[in-house]
Amino acid sequence: MELRYLGHSAVLLSDGETDVLIDPFLSGNPKAAISAEEVPADVILLTHGHGDHFGDTVEIAKRTGAPVLAIKEVADEIAAEGVEVFDPNLGGTVMFEWGRVKLVPAWHTSTTPKGTPSTPAGLVIDFRGTIVYHLGDTCLFSDLKLAASRGNPIDIALVPIGGHYTMDRFDAVTAVEFVAPKFVVPVHYDTFPPIETDAQGFKRDVETETSAKCLVLAPGENHSL
């Protein structure tokens, strides 16, 4: 499996055959590594409805025909646009030909695209046997450990480190301890001034204080697992 960081919280998981696109905020994202017109997708997964995650979801879904998985209230509004959806709630797992996706808690706020308050989530993804945990937008909370321990060990965790809207890089080190992944990729930083942070400092702390290896990926950069 190849993981491509697209900037901010957006990532693409691919095995060359299936493209799983997560939180495709590309238009208006100063760090976007690809345009909404070009990005491939067989399925789109959303952590929550905030604009910096929802982004170009509807446009990409319409162009590619990819269905969208999002928490019930966000999925309902996407379905009203004529897009095929999966609408789990927290604790729910959706099965795909290539694996499965479980929605787990994240501590944050959120709204639907139309502005109704809704619940944010993290995503635990089994992509052909590789386990990816996208924490979404969240602060540090101890049940990250519970969410990460209910199946096979986490191969790669996508962890927000920018602070201000989510946990900062110091709390994120403790989150990595809780989730205990083999690899961690920092996300949700340096896109805008309030979330600028020292990703190399995070990497140093992670690799000193936990057993995870930290991959600081520039937008557009790939990592193969």
Give whichever of 50 and 169 is closer to Ni ion, judged by the CB atom: 50
> Which residues lie across from 19 on neighbouring strands?
14
Give whichever of 110 and 210 is closer to Mn ion, judged by the CB atom: 110
Q: Is 8 in the site for Ni ion (CB under 5 A)?
A: no
Three-state DSSP at 114 gives coil
Give whichever of 14 and 119 is closer to Mn ion, judged by the CB atom: 119
Query: Of these, 4, 8, 50, 169, which contacts Ni ion (CB under 5 A)?
Result: 50
The answer to whether 110 touches 119, Cβ cutoff 8 Å, is: yes
Residue 194 per-residue DSSP state: G
Q: x-or-dash pattern for Ni ion, window 123-142, by CB under 5 A?
A: --------------x-----
Three-state DSSP at 2 gives strand
Q: Is 137 in the site for Mn ion (CB under 5 A)?
A: yes
> At its nearest, how many Å lie between Mn ion and the CB of residue 166?
7
> Which residues lie across from 14 on neighbouring strands?
2, 19
Three-state DSSP at 162 gives strand
Q: Is 19 in the site for Mn ion (CB under 5 A)?
A: no
The count of residues interacting with Mn ion (CB under 5 A) is: 2
Q: Residue 73 binds what, of Ni ion, Mn ion, none (CB under 5 to 8 Å, by partner type)?
A: none
DSSP 32-60: -SS-TTT---SEEE-S--SHHHHTTHHHH
**How far, CA to CA in Å, does 140 sit from each of 131, 137, 173, 180, 207?**
21, 10, 10, 14, 19
- Binding span for Mn ion by CB under 5 A among 60-68, 118-126, 131-139, 169-177: 131-139
> At its nearest, how many Å lie between Mn ion and the CB of residue 147?
19
**What count of other Cβ atoms lies within 10 Å of the Cβ of residue 4?**
20
Q: Is 52 in the site for Mn ion (CB under 5 A)?
A: yes
The answer to whether 69 touches 94, Cβ cutoff 8 Å, is: yes
Q: Is 190 in the site for Mn ion (CB under 5 A)?
A: no
Residues that bind Ni ion (CB under 5 A): 50, 137
Residues that bind Mn ion (CB under 5 A): 52, 137
